[in-house]
Structure 1
Amino acid sequence: MKKNILLVYTNFSTFVKTDHEILSERYHVEKYQYKPVKGLYRNLLEFLKQFFFLLFHIRKFDAAYIWFADYHSFLPVLFSMVFKKKSFVVIGGYDVARIQHLAYGVFTSKLRGFFSLYSMNHSSVNLTVSKYVDRKVNWIAPKANTELIYNCVSLDKNAAKEIIKKRKLNCYSWSY
Structure 2
Amino acid sequence: MARSSNDRILILQTSKAPVALSDERFLRSRFDVRTFRIRLAPPVRLLANMAALAVWLCWNLPRARGVFFRFADYYAFLPVFLSRVFRRKSWIVLGGYDAHHLPEYDYGVYGQPLRASIVRYAIRNATAVLPVDQSLYDGVNAYAFDPPRATGIKSLVPNLRCEVRVVADGFDHEFWTPSPGCRKERLVVATASVPQGTSRKSRTRMVALKGVPLLLEVARRMPDVAFAIIGPGRGVLPEGGRVVPANVQLPGYLSPEQLREYYRRATVYAHPSLTEGLPAAVAEAMLCCCVPVGSSVNGIPELIGDTGFVVTQPVIDEWAAAVTHALERGASSRARDRIVALFSLAKRHRLLVDVIEG
TM over 0.5: yes
More deviation in 81-90 or 147-156? 147-156
Counterpart AA for 1:77:
V
Aligned equivalents of 2:25, 2:340: Cα separation in 1: 15
Aligned equivalents of 2:339, 2:31: Cα separation in 1: 23
Aligned equivalents of 1:67, 1:6: Cα separation in 2: 12
1:56 aligns with 2:59: yes
Number of the residue aligned with 2:68: 65
1:74 aligns with 2:77: yes
Q: Which has the higher helix share?
A: 1
Q: What is the TM-score normalised by the length of structure 1?
A: 0.89
Distance 1:60 1:159, change over 3 A: farther
Matches within 5 A, 1:1-176: 1=3, 3-39=7-43, 41-135=44-138, 136-141=152-157, 142-152=160-170, 153=280, 154=283, 155=286, 156-162=335-341, 163-173=344-354, 174-175=356-357
Tell me the CA shift for residue 132 of structure 1.
0.8
Among all aligned residue pairs of Structure 1 and Structure 2, give the percentage whose two residues are the same amino acid. Answer: 22
Whether the 8 Å contact between 1:9 and 1:33 is mirrored in structure 2 is yes
Aligned equivalents of 1:62, 1:75: Cα separation in 2: 16
Aligned residues between the structures? 175
Tell me the CA shift for residue 9 of structure 1.
2.4
Tell me the CA shift for residue 140 of structure 1.
2.4
Deviations along 1:21-77, one digit per CA (max 9) or x if unpaired, are 2212211111111112123x3322221111111122221211100111111121011
Counterpart AA for 1:47:
M
C-alpha RMSD of matched pairs (Å):
1.8
Q: What is the TM-score normalised by the length of structure 2?
A: 0.46
Aligned equivalents of 1:65, 1:157: Cα separation in 2: 30
Distance 1:170 1:43, change over 3 A: closer
Query: What SS does the aligned partner of 1:90 have?
Result: strand
Instruction: Compare CA radii of gyration and give the structure with the larger one.
Output: 2
Aligned equivalents of 2:340, 2:23: Cα separation in 1: 15
List runs of 5+ in structure 1 lacking aligned partners: none
